[in-house]
Structure 1
Amino acid sequence: MANENMPSSEAGWAALRTREQAVMAYYNDQANNSTFGVGTLAHTGPCTPEELRRPVTAAQVNAQLATGVGRAEAQVRRTVTQRELTQPQFDELVSYTYSAGNTGAVDALHAANQNNDAGVVSHMNQRVYVHPRDAHGRRLRAVRSNGLVNRRRLETAPFQSQGAR
């Protein structure tokens, strides 16, 4: 099975850490969801006053990152079995899956499995919206995130044809 033993590279880990920007506290992300560390969702809706006072350790952040990356790697390996990925392609699919979640990433992963690079790029570029929540945790209208647009540009790069770059 293609990619069954491929791990994320050091460069892939470093890029993911940079993109997620570790925050050593609980905070409300751009969708107003309680988040901490390296983009780890604590729960939907804003942080509670208690969470905002709660310290977050480097060990907690690193453990959550390792768990999330492990899940993303496993999903990429499980789904992309018919095509051997390059290391940069694997790293960026892991980054995308970490960001979009297993369910959110499935269409791009299926396109990668079918060797459909244009499909990978198209599916990734559709996931650039966040659904903010109000102070009561109710989901609001989707908003395009410039941060996600920039992230998807980086994640799609290994799937772009040389002429399209």
Structure 2
Amino acid sequence: MTKLAQVAATPSVNAGMKMSPEVRVRMRRLERDVFKYYDDMGTGKGNCTWGPDILAHRGPCSKEELARPVSAAAVEAEFARRVVGAEGGVIRMVRVQKLPQDQFDALVSLTYNAGVHGSRNVYTLVDTGRLAEAARQIRTMTSARVNGRSVVARGLIARRAEESAPFDAAAKSAAIAKQ
């Protein structure tokens, strides 16, 4: 068995973790409820999105999508499903480094927003114990594509600061402990 296959076969040290209820509630409040499909960067710009910032697909919505209503029950169900998916992504990708609850919560929030693929560099940094680098990487993840160009999504700046904070704090504590 290859080393990679052995790692994949080994259970994650974070198996069984769940986002804390209070952070889940706070994250849910941050995600605005829109009971229809919309273009996340304005009409005809960005990506087709619905409910609490749920990506339907890359690129603007079609006229049919823009006319489609979304129920409150559908919004809640999809939010819950995507949080579970984000939790699973963190558990799958951070297999070696045992995460304290605040770091797990931050990675779930990041994964919910950026996806497993979009968060993969952060997972690698965290799983190898490079927490200060992980915090810096998270803070850089504030761009969105609009009409093929990368633009800063101002709403992500505060979110990324909050998501990076547990990794900054742990890195600072580790540096002080070494002295």
| TM-score (structure 2 length as normaliser) | 0.81
Counterpart among 142, 145, 150 of residue 153 in structure 2: 145
AA matched with 1:37: G
Counterpart among 55, 60, 66 of residue 46 in structure 1: 60
CA contact (8 A) 2:132 2:171 kept: no
Q: Please list every run of 5 or more consecutive structure 2 residues that lacks an aligned counterpart in the other structure.
A: 1-11, 173-179
Deviation at 1:162, TM superposition (A): 7.2
Counterpart among 155, 162, 167 of residue 159 in structure 1: 167
Structure number with bigger Rg: 2
AA matched with 1:97: T
Deviation at 1:43, TM superposition (A): 2.0
Higher mean displacement: 8-17 or 97-106: 8-17
Counterpart among 3, 25, 34 of residue 23 in structure 1: 34
AA matched with 1:14: V
AA matched with 1:151: R
Residue by residue over 1:85-109, the C-alpha shift from the partner in whole angstroms, topping out at 9 and shown as x without a partner, is: 1111111100001111111101111
Residue by residue over 1:44-97, the C-alpha shift from the partner in whole angstroms, topping out at 9 and shown as x without a partner, is: 222222222221111111121122111111111011121221111111100001
Q: 1:29 to 1:53 in 2, by over 3 A?
A: same
1:36 aligned partner: 50
Count matched residues: 158
Q: 1:64 to 1:107 in 2, by over 3 A?
A: same
Q: Please list every run of 5 or more consecutive structure 1 residues that lacks an aligned counterpart in the other structure.
A: 134-138
AA matched with 1:161: A
Distance in 1, Cα, partners of 2:67 & 2:126: 43
Q: Percent identity?
A: 37
Q: 1:5 to 1:162 in 2, by over 3 A?
A: closer
Counterpart among 102, 110, 116 of residue 96 in structure 1: 110
3-state SS of 2:146 partner: coil
Distance in 2, Cα, partners of 1:142 & 1:74: 29
Select the structure with the greater relative contact order (CA < 8 A; seq sep ≥ 6).
1
